[in-house]
Structure 1
Amino acid sequence: MAITEFKEQVLRYKDRIVFIKLSMPYFSRTLKEYAENEACFMFVNQGEVAVRGQEDYLKLNPKMGMLAKCLNYFFEPTTQAADCNNPVESIGIFLYPSLVEEIFEFDLSTSNHQSTYNLKQIPINQLLENYKASIGILLDHPELADAQIIKTKIKEFILLISKLEQAPSQLDFLAGLFKPQHSSFASTIQHNLYVNLSLEELATLCHLSLSSFKRKFQEVFDESPKKYLNRKKIERAAQLLQSQEYRISDIAFDVGFDSITTFNRNFQSIYAISPSAYRLNQNDQPLT
């Protein structure tokens, strides 16, 4: 995990983490790896963090939390958060089928309910704010958190969030929460075209190994991933260069290159001229 000097406090139930407080002075893109039959909710106490999924890009802060199903996604620093002087502190709640079936005496297999999201922003109202504060107290004072209290707090959260989500019932809410909506391969690629994700990171979002990802990409797009992604980014950059509104360096980063040198080299390989020369040529075109 690409985090430096982070501080972690956890509460467990039957050897599984159910509550966690994480303080991160600084972090780069960090994977939340798929865990079968695990869903979670995330509060942000301080700072701001972005979350990138197959088709989702969410920004979370003290006023906006996240409900997430069991799938791969990345935590990313935002412009505001990419600074050691602006740390991120979060509180997470982890839910597991066996735990919620124990608490509610449900059989989740009896519900076919399917919710229409994988990652969802949840506004933090006063009820959720009060709940978060109570979990914070338990994390700071773990001697207070025996098994019965932990079960009670999990039940309280499920009753609260299912009510806020206007779910048909607690059973349907929980059954839907453990059924991820896997996006198509092509849709995942198109939603992440202009992001500086490595091929390994794109493969992770698609829940594939790197070798399987490359084979699938060639099948779907009839082109290697590196060639296709570079071409699409440069084509988008060429569109943006037709306007004087954006600096060339900003365009390079906006279309997903991590350095202006790499951008210039890729642009020249496709258009045979530099981005600045391309912009000048476009501005010299006669009006029609």
Structure 2
Amino acid sequence: MNASAGISFKPQHFDAALSTAADGLWFEVHAENYMIESGPRRAMLEQLRAAWPLSIHGVGLSLAGDAPPDAEHLTKLRDLVTAFEPFLVSEHLAWSRFGDTCFPDLLPFPRSAEALDRITANINIVQDALGRAILIENPSLYMALDGHEMEETEFLNTLAYRTGCGLLVDVNNVHVSANNMDFDPRAYLATIDHAAIGEIHLAGHGVDPALGDALLIDSHDAPVAEAVWELYRDLIAEIGPRPTLIERDGNVPEFEALIAERDRAAAILAHQREPVHA
């Protein structure tokens, strides 16, 4: 499909999602909410898929964990992808499982050569199981870790080169991490492999109650900040249109408010498609 703008699907928006006439719209869902065989939630997704393209975004494969992806989880994901034929499948550069314990978070890790080999192997396992390439999303960072042997963009670029996966660039994550870890977000976006970018996420963030602006939180509970829109506009001007998602998980507004943000992203994408006249 052509690069266009979508929004993260919320069940309370089901009727509006089916009745809207937004041109080029698509929806993203979290895989783990739909890895079931039947029931109202699954039936809802079937109707949504009949009307609009879908992207499936995983949060539970724990690709940076110390073990291969859980076999049962991966089988359920494969079955979901087979059933709904999403145009994109993505996951996070993070871990969330240790042994039989699952953590409700996307946790950081030292970017070492050992971690690179382990995550490369895990991505290959997932792609072999799904029969397709996936996209890997850059994380939000909140504290310095010991043991890093390479910059994050080098790590992501190398993963893409070794596995053939694509990259999902969350521009809000870049902004949050740059603020918290004191680096230049534009330098980050300049050094990531532009050819590997298959999708972009835009979301809102908040501030830490105690530290304020010194520590931004990737909360997904607010409109996209103007600083993130500026980074996005500049990135699209540099790399060209890519599928772009408006991501909202908390303080979810009415459907029309999300469509308005989505339309803003769509306008930026459309501007880059306009022919240049001498």
- TM-score, normalised with respect to structure 1: 0.30
Asked which structure has the greater CA Rg, the reply is: 1
- Whose RCO is larger (CA < 8 A, sep 6+)? 2
